[in-house]
Structure 1
Amino acid sequence: MSMFMMHQILIHFCVLASIFLTSHAQAQHMGTHSKQNAMGHIDKVQGNRAKADDAPQAPKGSDLPGAQAPAPIPAADALELPQADFTPLRQDRNDRILDIIDPLTIRGEKIGIIRLSGLDIPDYNPYQQGPLAESAAYILRDMLSDTPVRLYHTRDKTTGRKNRMNQSLYHVVIADSESWVQGILVRLGLARVRTDPSTPEMARDLYTLETQAREEKLGLWAFDHYKVLSPDEASAHLNTFAIVEGKVVSAARKQNNIYLNFGQNWREDFTIQVKPINARRFDAAGINLLNLNGQTIRVRGWLQSYNGPYIEIDHPERIEIISP
């Protein structure tokens, strides 16, 4: 497949996501004429791979708060298909994708069930998919159905290759174009980065793509509900996976726990905790957490209430250092 054709396909993905999210934000269903127009575009790009009865419908359920119209789609020559250096990972066998189970789960001919590593789709729910999740699933079907891929997983044989549901964790690359599937979803704003201690690889590459999507207000970044929060906004988003950015006011060690405080009153203001067992990972990565005092950082994790809004960080890839 030529690079020009892949550019055209990526534009199609952007248009599809834009139409899908806009229709949901406005609580309007796509009409038959709109579906036919959308599918006509797909047919021209994909050579009639998509079928009319697979066209996406405006999803049901509550509207996303703070919805805005997605940003205009960039021109073809401004788009770059995400690729990456997968040296931190180990290449496993090649495979062919047989089925798209959901926006984060696919089925390979040889491997079986594959979970896309390193991603979070905020409105993904096994029982009722939101507009981001449905659009991402449709894109995966269009992009991966009956498609040869290369699979990469962690080099650690003891952990990080399977999740608790015994699904294989991989980064997926389309064989004939070298395009990185996780990178595409993040670049289109249909997913955000969410690593864990056993699969931290590729986080920095994904953050670069996430930043580009966020700056262009693509996909989820067009919605205030998913924006990067300031420390003062964190308390309004408890019990969610959130991204918070701010200046570390103080860094302290107490009973071997490390606390990064983002306000003068640690009993009320936003705080990050790193437990001793997890601090070793930062030491191994050459990061002195106490030296982050006075620096602006961006962190992500489960936001809970413990002497104010609080996130526990368990591996270095959950922290981005924005400025010294």
Structure 2
Amino acid sequence: MATAALLIGSRDAAFAAVCQFESQGEGRVAAITDARSLRLDDGREVRLTGIEPTATTKQALTSLLVGRDVALHGSDDTPDRYGRQSALVFIRDSETSAQALLLAQGEAIVSAEIADKDCAAALMAAEAEARRQKRGSWADPLAIKNAESPDDILAGIGRFMVVEGKVLSVRQAGAMTYLNFGRNWTRGFTATISRRIAPAFEGAGIALKSLENRRIRVRGWVEGNTGPRIDVRLLGQVELLGAIEPTGVRP
């Protein structure tokens, strides 16, 4: 991981700087407690916001952060139910977050939970570069699931996944809009969008009905019984793909 900053380069360091929110304090990393959480030497527990881990994230975090002085930045330092504060973590005097470094190495996946548009775009760009270069987890050709193979997606129920495919139909039932990727609605892959977040798509200039016959990339937690689905709760969970665009363009 020592070469991660070099791989990002000055261009990426510049866009990473947009993620420097309000300071939430500093400290030295004593231990990595799980794949996206750490403990500082003063006892504080921190969850790295903005990413979902891969199989190698914990090892990468250990190499990158243990024993290092870090600065925490975020928009809200209210502890979660486990007592962890959520933050972007910067090695002291660095303008690039640990999250961006992990994403650029393919050692993590963007979670889409960061609402700030510029910061979210910066993290997504770091991930996209890792995908293009097939770094880390993106070296696996099955890292992105095909929406036309619902059984492969359903096998990962309870996991955070990235799925690509063509939306065959858009249907609304009650307060929910269904993006159907298969002809068989009960068995095919579906992304659901509640009425509560539909205005976010409209604000981004995306009418949900316009997604019909479009190729998109969806990320999120896989649920379902007979057929898999991802509940879209955040705008950043959906990326629009061009006819031959391999990396997607975030709305």
Using the size of structure 2 for normalisation, the TM-score is 0.80
Structure richer in helix, relative to its length: 1
Alignment of 1:146-225 (within 5 A): 146-147=68-69, 149-154=70-75, 161-196=78-113, 199-201=114-116, 202-225=119-142
Query: Aligned AA for 1:297?
Result: I
Alignment of 1:83-122 (within 5 A): 83=13, 84=15, 90-102=21-33, 103-108=35-40, 112-122=44-54
Counting matched residue pairs gives 235
Structure 2: gaps (5+ residues): 244-251
Q: Structure 1's 134 and 105: CA in aligned 2 closer, same or farther, altered over 3 A?
A: closer
Q: Which residue of 2 aligns with 1:145?
A: 67
Structure richer in strand, relative to its length: 2
Distance 1:322 1:174 in 2: 34
Distance 1:314 1:255 in 2: 17
> Contact 1:273 / 1:311 at 8 angstroms: preserved in 2?
yes
Q: Which residue of 1 aligns with 2:249?
A: none
Instruction: Tell whether 2:21 aligns with 1:10.
Output: no
Query: Aligned AA for 2:3?
Result: L
> Contact 1:303 / 1:310 at 8 angstroms: preserved in 2?
yes
The residue matched to 1:232 in structure 2 has which SS?
coil
Distance 1:306 1:114 in 2: 34
Q: Which residue of 2 aligns with 1:263?
A: 182
> Contact 1:93 / 1:151 at 8 angstroms: preserved in 2?
yes
The residue matched to 2:22 in structure 1 has which SS?
strand
> Contact 1:213 / 1:221 at 8 angstroms: preserved in 2?
yes
Per-residue CA distance 1:64-121 (angstroms, 9 max, x = gap): xxxxxxxxxxxx6x65164335657731244132313234222346782211101111
When structure 1 is superposed on structure 2, of 280-289 and 168-177 the one drifting more is 280-289
Distance 2:127 2:196 in 1: 29
1:168 CA drift (Å): 0.6
Query: Aligned AA for 1:274?
Result: I
> Contact 2:147 / 2:164 at 8 angstroms: preserved in 1?
yes
1:272 CA drift (Å): 0.9
Per-residue CA distance 1:28-59 (angstroms, 9 max, x = gap): xxxxxxxxxxxxxxxxxxxxxxxxxxxxxxxx
Larger Rg: 1
Query: Aligned AA for 2:59?
Result: S
Using the size of structure 1 for normalisation, the TM-score is 0.64
Distance 2:110 2:190 in 1: 21
2:146 to 212, 230, 233: 230
Q: Which residue of 2 aligns with 1:34?
A: none
Q: Structure 1's 279 and 111: CA in aligned 2 closer, same or farther, altered over 3 A?
A: farther
Distance 1:172 1:90 in 2: 11
